[in-house]
Homo-oligomer: A and B are copies of this chain.
Amino acid sequence: MGEQNEFDNAVRAKILSHALPHIQNYNGKVVVVKYGGNAMTEPGLQESVMKDIALLTLVGVKVVLVHGGGPELDKELKAIGKKTEKIDGLRVTDEETASIAQMVLAGKVNKDLVRLLQNVGAKAIGLCGLDGGMIKTKQLDPKLGFVGEIEDIDIKPIETVFNAGYVPVISTVGADDEGNVYNINADSAAAAIAGWLKAECLILMTNTPGVLKDVNDEDSLYSVLTSADLEGMIEDGSLEGGMIPKAICTIRSLEMGVKRVFIIDGRVKQALLIELLTDEGLGTQVTIN
């Protein structure tokens, strides 16, 4: 309560009022949020993200929340004593591991997020790529086993949930035509979902301030880039390792018709509201060149 009182009503009303043009910008638009990193693992940040989504929903933004859940999966694998190896940072996934990933992502992480959204007054329904056969998948690479690449998305389950007034929360597992289950990289899945939905924007929540000129200098942030810039940076090797797959997803979703992609720092409290509803934003905004 003290916190709320440090600004008087007039200040608060003025700030609400300044959000008007930003709200008008996003009202009725689809925004796909790839949720992950600290924003998902730190309880304080987590609740703040849920409130941001509740607020965005109320001001008419059609938020789709897409999540992975690597840390929770690691914990479960460790608890049952199952060892997995990684190739180039991607987990080699046997059938049992894919099934465990489905269980942890769609049953634990997903439904926990649904519950948290409901707790802050939003209405949410959790889906995974198996529901309604939403995400058709094929094998990415035989060496990796049941790691999937998206072939096709049926957006009807998402629209069903939207039209009934719920926030769709989506776990990124899918199946092929034979019914084999695959784990899918959440960034790629979010980018594909944003593309299929012709989203206004895709927001990738990360643990860095955005795309950096100098990976060791958090102040060297690029505020604005084009997809061509990103392609150049991939080619000339100036992107750090973890940023490369995010850059690729970014480029793909822009090519599929997403208007802009924000790579933002999920460690900043209320990063979503700052990015979407204030004058400056905080991470890197990428548009098609």
Contacts and interface: CB of A to CB of B under 8 A. Distances in A.
Instruction: Give the oligomeric copy count.
Output: 6
A225 interface: no
Interface string A105-126: 1111011101110111101111
Contacts of A216: none
Contacts of A161: 160
A55 B24 CA distance: 8
A278 B13 contact: yes
Interface in A80-131: 80-81, 99, 102-108, 110-112, 114-116, 118-121, 123-128, 130-131
6 closest cross-chain pairs (CB), A and B: A107-B107, A13-B270, A103-B107, A103-B108, A13-B273, A160-B164
Interface of A: 3-4, 7, 9-21, 23-24, 27, 48, 51-52, 54-55, 58-60, 76, 79-81, 99, 102-108, 110-112, 114-116, 118-121, 123-128, 130-133, 156-157, 160-161, 164, 166, 173, 175, 179, 181, 268-270, 273-274, 277-280, 282
20 contacts: A9-B278, A9-B282, A13-B273, A15-B16, A17-B48, A17-B51, A17-B270, A20-B58, A24-B54, A24-B121, A59-B59, A59-B60, A79-B81, A80-B80, A106-B107, A106-B111, A111-B173, A114-B131, A118-B130, A119-B179
